[in-house]
Structure 1
Amino acid sequence: MSLPAANIHALEGASGAAAGDKTSVSKAYKTPRAALLAGLEDFRSGASDSAIAALKYAAAGGETLAQWKLATIYATGDGVPHDDLKAYDYFSQIISGYDEDDPDWRDKSVVSNAFVAIGTYSLNGIADTKVRPDPERARLMFNYAATTFGDATAQYNLARLYLDGVGGDKDSRQGLRWLYLAADKGNVQAQALIGQMMFQGQEGLPPQRARGLMWITLAREAANDSAKDQWIKDLYEKSMAAATDGERQTALTYLEDHLKRRN
Protein backbone atom coordinates (compact mmCIF):
# COMPACT_ATOMS: atom_id res chain seq x y z
CA MET A 1 0.00 0.00 0.00
CA SER A 2 1.36 3.43 -0.86
CA LEU A 3 0.87 6.11 1.74
CA PRO A 4 -1.35 9.09 0.93
CA ALA A 5 0.52 12.13 -0.26
CA ALA A 6 1.02 14.59 2.58
CA ASN A 7 1.07 18.33 2.15
CA ILE A 8 4.24 19.03 4.09
CA HIS A 9 6.24 22.13 4.86
CA ALA A 10 9.79 21.82 6.14
CA LEU A 11 9.71 22.29 9.89
CA GLU A 12 7.88 25.58 10.48
CA GLY A 13 6.80 25.93 6.87
CA ALA A 14 9.92 27.71 5.59
CA SER A 15 13.19 26.05 4.71
CA GLY A 16 15.11 29.16 5.76
CA ALA A 17 13.73 28.93 9.29
CA ALA A 18 14.59 25.25 9.43
CA ALA A 19 18.15 25.92 8.34
CA GLY A 20 18.47 28.64 10.95
CA ASP A 21 17.30 26.29 13.70
CA LYS A 22 19.78 23.66 12.62
CA THR A 23 22.72 26.07 12.39
CA SER A 24 22.08 27.57 15.82
CA VAL A 25 22.45 24.28 17.61
CA SER A 26 24.62 22.24 15.25
CA LYS A 27 27.74 23.08 17.24
CA ALA A 28 26.16 21.91 20.49
CA TYR A 29 25.07 18.44 19.37
CA LYS A 30 27.09 15.93 17.42
CA THR A 31 24.06 14.08 16.08
CA PRO A 32 20.29 14.59 15.76
CA ARG A 33 19.88 11.78 18.28
CA ALA A 34 21.97 13.66 20.83
CA ALA A 35 19.87 16.76 20.19
CA LEU A 36 16.70 14.73 20.73
CA LEU A 37 17.87 13.43 24.11
CA ALA A 38 19.00 16.87 25.21
CA GLY A 39 15.78 18.47 24.03
CA LEU A 40 13.65 15.98 25.96
CA GLU A 41 15.72 16.54 29.09
CA ASP A 42 15.52 20.34 28.73
CA PHE A 43 11.77 20.12 28.28
CA ARG A 44 11.39 18.02 31.43
CA SER A 45 13.42 20.58 33.37
CA GLY A 46 11.30 23.46 32.09
CA ALA A 47 13.86 25.02 29.71
CA SER A 48 11.38 25.37 26.85
CA ASP A 49 13.41 27.59 24.52
CA SER A 50 16.52 25.40 24.46
CA ALA A 51 14.36 22.27 24.35
CA ILE A 52 12.47 23.40 21.28
CA ALA A 53 15.65 24.51 19.50
CA ALA A 54 17.24 21.12 20.13
CA LEU A 55 14.10 19.24 19.11
CA LYS A 56 13.88 21.20 15.87
CA TYR A 57 17.47 20.28 15.06
CA ALA A 58 16.68 16.62 15.81
CA ALA A 59 13.49 16.76 13.77
CA ALA A 60 15.37 18.21 10.80
CA GLY A 61 17.76 15.27 11.12
CA GLY A 62 14.89 12.81 10.77
CA GLU A 63 14.32 11.90 14.43
CA THR A 64 10.70 10.74 14.48
CA LEU A 65 10.27 11.19 18.20
CA ALA A 66 11.43 14.81 17.94
CA GLN A 67 8.90 15.46 15.18
CA TRP A 68 6.16 13.92 17.32
CA LYS A 69 7.17 15.84 20.44
CA LEU A 70 7.12 19.13 18.56
CA ALA A 71 3.76 18.25 17.01
CA THR A 72 2.22 17.57 20.41
CA ILE A 73 3.81 20.67 21.93
CA TYR A 74 2.25 22.91 19.29
CA ALA A 75 -1.07 21.02 19.35
CA THR A 76 -1.44 21.56 23.09
CA GLY A 77 0.35 24.89 23.43
CA ASP A 78 2.71 23.39 25.98
CA GLY A 79 5.42 26.02 26.46
CA VAL A 80 4.68 27.64 23.08
CA PRO A 81 1.70 29.42 21.53
CA HIS A 82 -0.91 26.89 20.41
CA ASP A 83 -0.54 26.36 16.65
CA ASP A 84 -2.44 23.53 14.95
CA LEU A 85 -0.87 24.21 11.58
CA LYS A 86 2.65 23.68 12.93
CA ALA A 87 1.42 20.56 14.70
CA TYR A 88 -0.10 19.37 11.44
CA ASP A 89 3.17 19.95 9.58
CA TYR A 90 5.22 17.98 12.11
CA PHE A 91 2.73 15.12 12.16
CA SER A 92 2.87 15.16 8.36
CA GLN A 93 6.65 14.80 8.44
CA ILE A 94 6.26 11.61 10.46
CA ILE A 95 3.86 10.16 7.91
CA SER A 96 6.03 11.23 4.99
CA GLY A 97 9.12 9.65 6.55
CA TYR A 98 7.43 6.36 7.44
CA ASP A 99 8.66 3.43 5.36
CA GLU A 100 6.02 0.70 5.47
CA ASP A 101 8.38 -1.70 3.69
CA ASP A 102 11.04 -1.31 6.39
CA PRO A 103 9.32 0.08 9.49
CA ASP A 104 11.09 0.84 12.73
CA TRP A 105 8.70 -0.73 15.21
CA ARG A 106 10.26 1.25 18.05
CA ASP A 107 8.36 4.20 16.57
CA LYS A 108 5.09 2.28 16.17
CA SER A 109 3.03 4.23 18.69
CA VAL A 110 4.40 7.56 17.50
CA VAL A 111 3.68 6.85 13.83
CA SER A 112 0.24 5.49 14.64
CA ASN A 113 -0.55 8.59 16.66
CA ALA A 114 0.53 10.78 13.74
CA PHE A 115 -1.87 9.02 11.37
CA VAL A 116 -4.70 9.51 13.87
CA ALA A 117 -3.80 13.17 14.34
CA ILE A 118 -3.70 13.85 10.60
CA GLY A 119 -6.99 11.99 10.26
CA THR A 120 -8.56 14.25 12.87
CA TYR A 121 -7.18 17.40 11.27
CA SER A 122 -8.36 16.17 7.87
CA LEU A 123 -11.83 15.50 9.23
CA ASN A 124 -12.29 18.91 10.82
CA GLY A 125 -9.85 21.11 8.93
CA ILE A 126 -7.89 23.97 10.52
CA ALA A 127 -9.62 27.32 10.30
CA ASP A 128 -8.01 29.97 8.09
CA THR A 129 -5.28 27.64 6.81
CA LYS A 130 -4.49 25.39 3.88
CA VAL A 131 -5.96 22.42 5.77
CA ARG A 132 -9.56 22.04 4.65
CA PRO A 133 -12.04 19.41 5.85
CA ASP A 134 -11.44 16.23 3.85
CA PRO A 135 -13.54 13.37 5.30
CA GLU A 136 -12.37 10.90 2.65
CA ARG A 137 -8.74 11.45 3.60
CA ALA A 138 -9.70 11.22 7.27
CA ARG A 139 -11.27 7.83 6.69
CA LEU A 140 -8.16 6.70 4.82
CA MET A 141 -5.87 7.83 7.64
CA PHE A 142 -7.96 6.21 10.36
CA ASN A 143 -8.24 3.02 8.34
CA TYR A 144 -4.47 2.82 7.91
CA ALA A 145 -3.77 3.29 11.62
CA ALA A 146 -6.57 0.89 12.57
CA THR A 147 -5.45 -1.92 10.27
CA THR A 148 -1.66 -1.48 10.30
CA PHE A 149 -1.13 -0.62 13.96
CA GLY A 150 -4.33 -1.83 15.60
CA ASP A 151 -4.75 1.65 17.07
CA ALA A 152 -7.86 1.72 19.27
CA THR A 153 -8.48 5.44 18.79
CA ALA A 154 -8.27 5.03 15.03
CA GLN A 155 -10.63 2.07 15.21
CA TYR A 156 -13.16 4.12 17.18
CA ASN A 157 -12.90 7.09 14.81
CA LEU A 158 -13.20 4.81 11.79
CA ALA A 159 -16.25 3.16 13.32
CA ARG A 160 -17.94 6.53 13.74
CA LEU A 161 -17.28 7.44 10.11
CA TYR A 162 -18.81 4.16 8.92
CA LEU A 163 -21.80 4.46 11.25
CA ASP A 164 -22.46 8.08 10.25
CA GLY A 165 -21.65 7.65 6.54
CA VAL A 166 -18.93 10.33 6.65
CA GLY A 167 -16.11 10.18 4.12
CA GLY A 168 -17.80 7.36 2.22
CA ASP A 169 -20.80 5.07 2.27
CA LYS A 170 -22.54 4.26 5.51
CA ASP A 171 -21.82 0.68 6.58
CA SER A 172 -23.24 -0.31 9.96
CA ARG A 173 -21.69 -3.77 9.85
CA GLN A 174 -18.18 -2.41 9.38
CA GLY A 175 -18.85 0.32 11.91
CA LEU A 176 -19.91 -2.15 14.57
CA ARG A 177 -16.93 -4.39 13.84
CA TRP A 178 -14.44 -1.56 14.34
CA LEU A 179 -16.36 -0.27 17.34
CA TYR A 180 -16.18 -3.63 19.07
CA LEU A 181 -12.44 -3.94 18.39
CA ALA A 182 -11.83 -0.50 19.89
CA ALA A 183 -14.02 -1.23 22.90
CA ASP A 184 -12.31 -4.55 23.54
CA LYS A 185 -8.96 -2.74 23.60
CA GLY A 186 -10.21 -0.37 26.26
CA ASN A 187 -11.20 2.71 24.29
CA VAL A 188 -13.61 4.42 26.67
CA GLN A 189 -15.63 6.24 24.01
CA ALA A 190 -16.08 3.01 22.06
CA GLN A 191 -17.16 1.12 25.16
CA ALA A 192 -19.79 3.71 25.97
CA LEU A 193 -21.11 3.92 22.42
CA ILE A 194 -21.34 0.18 21.78
CA GLY A 195 -22.92 -0.21 25.21
CA GLN A 196 -25.54 2.39 24.38
CA MET A 197 -26.27 0.75 21.05
CA MET A 198 -26.62 -2.71 22.62
CA PHE A 199 -28.73 -1.45 25.50
CA GLN A 200 -31.13 0.43 23.24
CA GLY A 201 -30.95 -1.80 20.16
CA GLN A 202 -29.55 0.39 17.37
CA GLU A 203 -27.93 0.06 13.96
CA GLY A 204 -29.52 -3.35 13.38
CA LEU A 205 -28.42 -4.71 16.74
CA PRO A 206 -31.16 -6.52 18.67
CA PRO A 207 -31.36 -5.22 22.24
CA GLN A 208 -28.78 -6.86 24.49
CA ARG A 209 -29.45 -4.81 27.57
CA ALA A 210 -27.29 -6.66 30.09
CA ARG A 211 -24.34 -6.87 27.69
CA GLY A 212 -24.75 -3.22 26.83
CA LEU A 213 -24.88 -2.30 30.49
CA MET A 214 -21.60 -4.14 31.00
CA TRP A 215 -19.86 -1.99 28.37
CA ILE A 216 -21.39 1.20 29.77
CA THR A 217 -20.18 0.26 33.26
CA LEU A 218 -16.66 -0.35 31.95
CA ALA A 219 -16.69 3.05 30.29
CA ARG A 220 -18.01 4.75 33.42
CA GLU A 221 -15.27 3.22 35.55
CA ALA A 222 -12.59 4.52 33.16
CA ALA A 223 -14.11 7.96 32.54
CA ASN A 224 -11.88 10.57 34.17
CA ASP A 225 -12.24 13.72 32.08
CA SER A 226 -14.98 15.69 33.79
CA ALA A 227 -16.01 17.66 30.69
CA LYS A 228 -15.22 15.26 27.86
CA ASP A 229 -16.68 12.21 29.59
CA GLN A 230 -19.77 13.77 31.14
CA TRP A 231 -21.98 12.14 28.52
CA ILE A 232 -20.66 8.74 29.61
CA LYS A 233 -21.51 9.44 33.23
CA ASP A 234 -24.99 10.61 32.23
CA LEU A 235 -25.47 7.54 30.02
CA TYR A 236 -24.49 5.27 32.91
CA GLU A 237 -26.92 6.87 35.34
CA LYS A 238 -29.76 6.78 32.83
CA SER A 239 -29.10 3.17 31.78
CA MET A 240 -28.77 1.90 35.35
CA ALA A 241 -32.05 3.57 36.26
CA ALA A 242 -33.79 1.97 33.26
CA ALA A 243 -32.36 -1.53 33.81
CA THR A 244 -34.10 -4.22 35.80
CA ASP A 245 -32.51 -5.90 38.79
CA GLY A 246 -31.98 -9.01 36.67
CA GLU A 247 -30.24 -7.03 33.93
CA ARG A 248 -27.95 -5.37 36.46
CA GLN A 249 -27.03 -8.73 37.97
CA THR A 250 -26.38 -10.31 34.57
CA ALA A 251 -24.30 -7.30 33.56
CA LEU A 252 -22.19 -7.79 36.69
CA THR A 253 -21.59 -11.43 35.71
CA TYR A 254 -20.58 -10.37 32.20
CA LEU A 255 -18.27 -7.74 33.68
CA GLU A 256 -16.52 -10.26 35.93
CA ASP A 257 -16.03 -12.64 32.99
CA HIS A 258 -14.69 -9.81 30.82
CA LEU A 259 -12.17 -8.73 33.46
CA LYS A 260 -11.01 -12.31 33.97
CA ARG A 261 -10.45 -12.69 30.25
CA ARG A 262 -8.48 -9.44 30.11
CA ASN A 263 -6.29 -10.49 33.03
Structure 2
Amino acid sequence: MQISEVVRAGLLTAVAAGALGVAVPSAHALDQSVIGTPQEQRSPWAVFRFGFSAYKSGHKEQAVEAYKYAAENGQLGARWKLARMYAEGDGVARNDYEAFKFFQEIAAQDVEPGSPDESYVADALVALGGYARTGIPDSPIQANPAAAQDYYMRAAATYRNPNAQYEVGKMFLHGEGGMKASLQQAARWFQLSAEKGHAGAQATLGNLLFQSGKAVRGLAMMTAALERAQPSDKGWIRGMQEEAFALAGEADRRTAIALAQDMIAKGN
Protein backbone atom coordinates (compact mmCIF):
# COMPACT_ATOMS: atom_id res chain seq x y z
CA MET A 1 0.00 0.00 0.00
CA GLN A 2 1.29 3.48 -0.90
CA ILE A 3 0.88 6.42 1.44
CA SER A 4 -0.74 9.42 -0.25
CA GLU A 5 1.44 12.38 -1.15
CA VAL A 6 0.02 14.48 1.68
CA VAL A 7 0.82 11.87 4.32
CA ARG A 8 4.27 11.14 2.96
CA ALA A 9 5.03 14.82 2.69
CA GLY A 10 3.90 15.60 6.19
CA LEU A 11 5.81 12.66 7.59
CA LEU A 12 9.03 13.70 5.85
CA THR A 13 8.67 17.23 7.16
CA ALA A 14 7.99 16.00 10.70
CA VAL A 15 10.99 13.64 10.63
CA ALA A 16 13.28 16.35 9.29
CA ALA A 17 12.05 18.83 11.88
CA GLY A 18 12.64 16.32 14.66
CA ALA A 19 16.18 15.75 13.46
CA LEU A 20 16.87 19.49 13.49
CA GLY A 21 15.21 19.99 16.85
CA VAL A 22 12.67 22.52 15.57
CA ALA A 23 8.89 22.60 15.71
CA VAL A 24 6.91 22.73 12.48
CA PRO A 25 3.21 23.64 12.60
CA SER A 26 1.11 20.63 11.65
CA ALA A 27 -0.96 22.55 9.11
CA HIS A 28 2.25 23.58 7.30
CA ALA A 29 3.52 20.00 7.39
CA LEU A 30 0.34 18.73 5.82
CA ASP A 31 0.59 21.20 2.96
CA GLN A 32 4.06 20.11 1.75
CA SER A 33 4.58 17.97 -1.35
CA VAL A 34 7.54 15.60 -1.42
CA ILE A 35 7.89 12.54 -3.64
CA GLY A 36 9.93 9.49 -2.90
CA THR A 37 10.00 9.42 0.90
CA PRO A 38 12.65 6.86 1.92
CA GLN A 39 11.26 3.59 3.31
CA GLU A 40 12.90 4.06 6.71
CA GLN A 41 10.96 7.29 7.13
CA ARG A 42 7.71 5.44 6.48
CA SER A 43 7.93 2.99 9.38
CA PRO A 44 4.53 2.14 10.92
CA TRP A 45 5.55 3.78 14.20
CA ALA A 46 6.62 7.00 12.47
CA VAL A 47 3.41 7.12 10.43
CA PHE A 48 1.40 6.46 13.60
CA ARG A 49 3.11 9.38 15.31
CA PHE A 50 2.42 11.58 12.31
CA GLY A 51 -1.25 10.51 12.41
CA PHE A 52 -1.41 11.42 16.08
CA SER A 53 0.02 14.88 15.37
CA ALA A 54 -2.46 15.37 12.53
CA TYR A 55 -5.31 14.28 14.79
CA LYS A 56 -4.29 16.69 17.55
CA SER A 57 -4.11 19.50 15.00
CA GLY A 58 -7.65 18.78 13.79
CA HIS A 59 -6.63 17.16 10.49
CA LYS A 60 -8.62 14.01 11.16
CA GLU A 61 -8.92 12.84 7.55
CA GLN A 62 -5.14 12.76 7.25
CA ALA A 63 -4.95 11.10 10.66
CA VAL A 64 -7.29 8.31 9.54
CA GLU A 65 -5.21 7.71 6.40
CA ALA A 66 -2.00 7.55 8.43
CA TYR A 67 -3.57 5.30 11.07
CA LYS A 68 -4.81 2.90 8.39
CA TYR A 69 -1.35 2.58 6.89
CA ALA A 70 0.23 2.04 10.29
CA ALA A 71 -2.49 -0.45 11.29
CA GLU A 72 -2.09 -2.49 8.11
CA ASN A 73 1.61 -2.68 8.86
CA GLY A 74 1.21 -4.03 12.38
CA GLN A 75 0.98 -0.93 14.59
CA LEU A 76 -1.45 -1.93 17.35
CA GLY A 77 -1.96 1.59 18.65
CA ALA A 78 -3.12 2.72 15.21
CA ARG A 79 -5.72 -0.07 15.11
CA TRP A 80 -6.95 0.95 18.54
CA LYS A 81 -7.20 4.60 17.54
CA LEU A 82 -9.17 3.72 14.41
CA ALA A 83 -11.49 1.51 16.44
CA ARG A 84 -12.17 4.34 18.87
CA MET A 85 -12.76 6.84 16.07
CA TYR A 86 -15.32 4.56 14.41
CA ALA A 87 -16.96 3.70 17.74
CA GLU A 88 -17.37 7.36 18.66
CA GLY A 89 -17.93 8.88 15.21
CA ASP A 90 -14.80 10.94 15.74
CA GLY A 91 -13.55 12.26 12.39
CA VAL A 92 -15.41 9.49 10.55
CA ALA A 93 -19.03 8.39 10.32
CA ARG A 94 -19.88 6.27 13.34
CA ASN A 95 -19.78 2.59 12.44
CA ASP A 96 -19.92 0.16 15.35
CA TYR A 97 -19.42 -2.89 13.19
CA GLU A 98 -16.25 -1.39 11.70
CA ALA A 99 -15.07 -0.57 15.22
CA PHE A 100 -15.89 -4.13 16.32
CA LYS A 101 -13.67 -5.57 13.58
CA PHE A 102 -10.73 -3.39 14.58
CA PHE A 103 -11.21 -4.26 18.27
CA GLN A 104 -11.40 -7.94 17.34
CA GLU A 105 -8.07 -7.74 15.49
CA ILE A 106 -6.48 -6.14 18.55
CA ALA A 107 -7.92 -8.71 20.96
CA ALA A 108 -6.57 -11.53 18.81
CA GLN A 109 -2.99 -10.43 19.55
CA ASP A 110 -0.94 -12.52 21.97
CA VAL A 111 0.09 -9.70 24.29
CA GLU A 112 1.64 -10.54 27.64
CA PRO A 113 0.52 -8.71 30.81
CA GLY A 114 2.88 -5.82 31.44
CA SER A 115 3.56 -5.31 27.73
CA PRO A 116 3.44 -1.72 26.37
CA ASP A 117 0.47 -2.86 24.25
CA GLU A 118 -1.46 -4.29 27.20
CA SER A 119 -3.79 -1.30 27.53
CA TYR A 120 -4.86 -1.55 23.87
CA VAL A 121 -5.81 -5.22 24.21
CA ALA A 122 -7.57 -4.74 27.55
CA ASP A 123 -9.61 -1.80 26.25
CA ALA A 124 -10.47 -3.73 23.07
CA LEU A 125 -11.73 -6.67 25.14
CA VAL A 126 -13.95 -4.36 27.21
CA ALA A 127 -15.35 -2.79 24.04
CA LEU A 128 -16.01 -6.22 22.53
CA GLY A 129 -17.77 -7.23 25.74
CA GLY A 130 -20.09 -4.26 25.40
CA TYR A 131 -20.90 -5.08 21.78
CA ALA A 132 -21.46 -8.76 22.58
CA ARG A 133 -23.72 -7.85 25.48
CA THR A 134 -26.16 -5.84 23.35
CA GLY A 135 -25.37 -6.81 19.77
CA ILE A 136 -24.88 -4.37 16.88
CA PRO A 137 -28.02 -3.52 14.89
CA ASP A 138 -27.92 -4.27 11.15
CA SER A 139 -24.77 -6.36 11.49
CA PRO A 140 -23.85 -10.04 12.03
CA ILE A 141 -23.13 -9.30 15.72
CA GLN A 142 -26.02 -10.55 17.83
CA ALA A 143 -26.44 -10.19 21.59
CA ASN A 144 -24.42 -12.92 23.30
CA PRO A 145 -24.06 -12.45 27.08
CA ALA A 146 -21.86 -15.54 27.40
CA ALA A 147 -19.39 -14.12 24.87
CA ALA A 148 -19.52 -10.78 26.69
CA GLN A 149 -18.62 -12.57 29.92
CA ASP A 150 -15.64 -14.21 28.22
CA TYR A 151 -14.33 -10.89 26.90
CA TYR A 152 -14.77 -9.13 30.24
CA MET A 153 -13.23 -11.97 32.22
CA ARG A 154 -10.14 -12.10 30.02
CA ALA A 155 -9.56 -8.36 30.45
CA ALA A 156 -10.36 -8.49 34.16
CA ALA A 157 -8.30 -11.52 35.11
CA THR A 158 -5.41 -11.38 32.64
CA TYR A 159 -4.90 -7.64 32.38
CA ARG A 160 -6.58 -6.51 35.63
CA ASN A 161 -8.50 -3.83 33.79
CA PRO A 162 -10.73 -1.92 36.23
CA ASN A 163 -13.53 -1.35 33.70
CA ALA A 164 -13.64 -5.08 32.97
CA GLN A 165 -13.53 -5.95 36.67
CA TYR A 166 -16.51 -3.66 37.22
CA GLU A 167 -18.45 -5.30 34.38
CA VAL A 168 -17.66 -8.80 35.70
CA GLY A 169 -18.92 -7.65 39.11
CA LYS A 170 -22.20 -6.50 37.58
CA MET A 171 -22.63 -9.79 35.74
CA PHE A 172 -22.13 -11.73 38.97
CA LEU A 173 -24.49 -9.38 40.78
CA HIS A 174 -27.30 -9.99 38.28
CA GLY A 175 -26.44 -13.53 37.18
CA GLU A 176 -25.73 -12.65 33.55
CA GLY A 177 -23.81 -14.47 30.84
CA GLY A 178 -24.33 -17.92 32.31
CA MET A 179 -22.90 -16.86 35.66
CA LYS A 180 -24.68 -17.86 38.83
CA ALA A 181 -25.66 -14.76 40.78
CA SER A 182 -23.23 -14.34 43.66
CA LEU A 183 -23.11 -11.30 45.91
CA GLN A 184 -19.77 -12.43 47.29
CA GLN A 185 -18.16 -12.77 43.87
CA ALA A 186 -19.70 -9.48 42.72
CA ALA A 187 -18.29 -7.66 45.76
CA ARG A 188 -14.86 -9.21 45.15
CA TRP A 189 -14.68 -7.87 41.59
CA PHE A 190 -16.12 -4.48 42.59
CA GLN A 191 -13.45 -4.25 45.29
CA LEU A 192 -10.64 -4.94 42.80
CA SER A 193 -11.99 -2.28 40.46
CA ALA A 194 -12.69 0.22 43.24
CA GLU A 195 -9.10 -0.06 44.49
CA LYS A 196 -7.97 1.19 41.08
CA GLY A 197 -10.18 4.28 41.36
CA HIS A 198 -13.23 3.18 39.33
CA ALA A 199 -16.02 5.46 40.57
CA GLY A 200 -18.84 3.16 39.42
CA ALA A 201 -17.34 0.23 41.29
CA GLN A 202 -16.80 2.37 44.39
CA ALA A 203 -20.42 3.55 44.35
CA THR A 204 -21.85 0.08 43.73
CA LEU A 205 -19.69 -1.49 46.43
CA GLY A 206 -20.70 1.33 48.78
CA ASN A 207 -24.35 0.58 48.10
CA LEU A 208 -23.81 -3.12 48.82
CA LEU A 209 -22.12 -2.22 52.12
CA PHE A 210 -25.00 0.09 53.01
CA GLN A 211 -27.55 -2.63 52.29
CA SER A 212 -25.57 -5.10 54.41
CA GLY A 213 -25.82 -2.80 57.44
CA LYS A 214 -22.50 -0.95 57.14
CA ALA A 215 -24.30 2.34 56.68
CA VAL A 216 -21.52 4.82 57.41
CA ARG A 217 -18.88 3.13 55.30
CA GLY A 218 -21.33 2.58 52.45
CA LEU A 219 -22.59 6.17 52.48
CA ALA A 220 -19.04 7.51 52.58
CA MET A 221 -17.98 5.40 49.58
CA MET A 222 -20.96 6.51 47.52
CA THR A 223 -20.35 10.15 48.43
CA ALA A 224 -16.66 9.97 47.53
CA ALA A 225 -17.48 8.14 44.29
CA LEU A 226 -19.94 10.86 43.31
CA GLU A 227 -17.24 13.48 43.74
CA ARG A 228 -14.80 11.53 41.52
CA ALA A 229 -17.26 10.28 38.89
CA GLN A 230 -17.27 11.28 35.24
CA PRO A 231 -20.24 13.45 34.18
CA SER A 232 -21.85 10.49 32.41
CA ASP A 233 -21.96 8.51 35.69
CA LYS A 234 -22.93 11.24 38.12
CA GLY A 235 -26.69 10.88 37.53
CA TRP A 236 -27.11 7.25 38.57
CA ILE A 237 -24.54 7.51 41.37
CA ARG A 238 -26.28 10.60 42.77
CA GLY A 239 -29.64 8.81 42.69
CA MET A 240 -28.20 5.82 44.55
CA GLN A 241 -26.47 8.03 47.12
CA GLU A 242 -29.49 10.25 47.76
CA GLU A 243 -31.74 7.23 48.26
CA ALA A 244 -29.33 5.83 50.84
CA PHE A 245 -28.99 9.18 52.62
CA ALA A 246 -32.76 9.43 52.89
CA LEU A 247 -32.83 6.10 54.74
CA ALA A 248 -29.88 6.82 57.05
CA GLY A 249 -30.02 8.45 60.46
CA GLU A 250 -28.71 11.96 61.01
CA ALA A 251 -25.66 10.81 62.99
CA ASP A 252 -24.68 8.31 60.29
CA ARG A 253 -25.04 10.99 57.60
CA ARG A 254 -22.71 13.40 59.37
CA THR A 255 -20.11 10.73 60.08
CA ALA A 256 -20.31 9.49 56.47
CA ILE A 257 -19.79 12.98 55.05
CA ALA A 258 -16.71 13.50 57.23
CA LEU A 259 -15.34 10.08 56.23
CA ALA A 260 -15.99 10.80 52.53
CA GLN A 261 -14.12 14.07 52.76
CA ASP A 262 -11.20 12.23 54.34
CA MET A 263 -11.30 9.59 51.56
CA ILE A 264 -11.25 12.27 48.87
CA ALA A 265 -8.43 14.20 50.53
CA LYS A 266 -6.28 11.08 50.91
CA GLY A 267 -7.21 9.59 47.54
CA ASN A 268 -8.53 6.42 49.17
Q: Secondary structure at the match of 2:116?
A: helix
**What is the RMSD computed on CA atoms of the aligned residues?**
2.1
Q: Which runs of 5+ in 2 are unaligned?
A: 9-35
Aligned-partner Cα distance in 2 for 1:131–1:111 = 20
Q: Do 1:160 and 1:175's aligned partners in 2 also have CA atoms closer than 8 Å?
A: yes
User: Aligned letter for 2:96?
Assistant: D
**Match of residue 153 from structure 1:** 163
Confirm whether residue 96 of structure 1 aligns to residue 108 of structure 2. Answer: yes
Q: Do 1:223 and 1:233's aligned partners in 2 also have CA atoms closer than 8 Å?
A: no
**Match of residue 48 from structure 1:** 60
Q: Secondary structure at the match of 2:91?
A: coil
Identical positions, percent: 35
Task: Choose which of 214, 230, 237 in structure 1 pairs with 2:235.
Answer: 230
Task: Choose which of 107, 114, 124 in structure 1 pairs with 2:117.
Answer: 107
Paired residues for 1:1-263 under 5 Å: 22-25=1-4, 30-100=42-112, 105-168=115-178, 169-199=180-210, 201=211, 206-225=212-231, 228-252=233-257, 254-255=259-260, 258=263, 262=267
Cα drift, residue 260 of structure 1: 7.0
Superposed CA deviations along residues 69-127 of structure 1, whole A, max 9, x for unmatched, are 00000000011100001111111111112334xx6711222211111111111111101
Aligned-partner Cα distance in 2 for 1:44–1:60 = 21
Q: Do 1:71 and 1:91's aligned partners in 2 also have CA atoms closer than 8 Å?
A: yes
Cα drift, residue 261 of structure 1: 6.4
**Match of residue 29 from structure 2:** none
Q: TM-score, normalised by structure 1?
A: 0.81
Q: Secondary structure at the match of 1:182?
A: helix
Q: Do 2:224 and 2:263's aligned partners in 1 also have CA atoms closer than 8 Å?
A: no
Q: Secondary structure at the match of 2:92?
A: coil
Structure 1 residue ranges, 4+ long, deviating more than 6 angstroms after superposition = none
Q: TM-score, normalised by structure 2?
A: 0.80
Q: Do 2:175 and 2:181's aligned partners in 1 also have CA atoms closer than 8 Å?
A: yes
Q: Which runs of 5+ in 1 are unaligned?
A: 1-21
Aligned-partner Cα distance in 1 for 2:262–2:234 = 25
User: Aligned letter for 1:189?
Assistant: G
Q: Do 2:215 and 2:252's aligned partners in 1 also have CA atoms closer than 8 Å?
A: yes
Q: Secondary structure at the match of 1:37?
A: helix
Aligned positions, number: 234
Q: Do 2:200 and 2:233's aligned partners in 1 also have CA atoms closer than 8 Å?
A: no
Cα drift, residue 142 of structure 1: 0.8
